[in-house]
Amino acid sequence: MLVMNTPTSSSDKTYILVHGAWYGGGWCWHKVVPLLESRGYAVIPVDLPGYGQDTTPAASVTLDDYVTTVLDVAGSVKGKVVLVGHSLGGAVISQASEFLGPEKAEKLVYVDAFLLRNGESILAQVQQLAEASKAAPEPAAEQLAADYLIFSDDQKTCLVDPARMQEVFCHDAPAEDVALAKANLRWQPVAGLATPISVTDERYGVIPKVYIRCTKSRDLDRRSIVQHVPCQQVFELPSSHSPFFSMPDRLAAILEEVY
Looking up residue 122, the CATH number of its domain turns out to be 3.40.50.1820
pLDDT at 141 (0 to 100): 64
pLDDT in tens, 66-94: 999 999 999 999 999 999 999 999 999 99
What are the backbone dihedrals phi and psi of residue 106, each rounded to the nearest 5 degrees, phi first? -70, -40
Counts of helices then strands in the chain (DSSP H, E): 10, 10
Beta strands in 65-198 (DSSP E): 81-86, 105-111, 149-151, 157-160, 188-189
Residue pair 199/67 in contact (Cβ under 8 Å)? The answer is no
Q: With 60 as the cut, is the pLDDT of residue 7 above it?
A: no
Beta-strand pair 188-189/42-47 = unpaired
pLDDT in tens, 200-217: 999 999 999 999 999 999
pLDDT at 4 (0 to 100): 41
Q: How far apart are CA 235 and CA 251, in angstroms?
A: 10
Q: With 80 as the cut, is the pLDDT of residue 1 above it?
A: no
Q: Pick the residue with more confidence: 13 or 98?
A: 98
Q: Is 45 helix (H, G, I), strand (E, B) or coil?
A: strand
Beta-strand pair 157-160/149-151 = antiparallel
pLDDT in tens, 117-173: 999 999 999 988 888 887 877 766 666 677 889 999 999 999 999 999 999 999 999
Domain count, the chain: 1
Q: Is 125 helix (H, G, I), strand (E, B) or coil?
A: helix
pLDDT in tens, 98-124: 999 999 999 999 999 999 999 999 999
Average pLDDT, the chain: 92
Tell me what the mean pLDDT of segment 166-192 comes to: 96
Length of the chain: 259
pLDDT at 139 (0 to 100): 66
Residue 5, amino acid: N
Domain that holds residue 16: 2-258
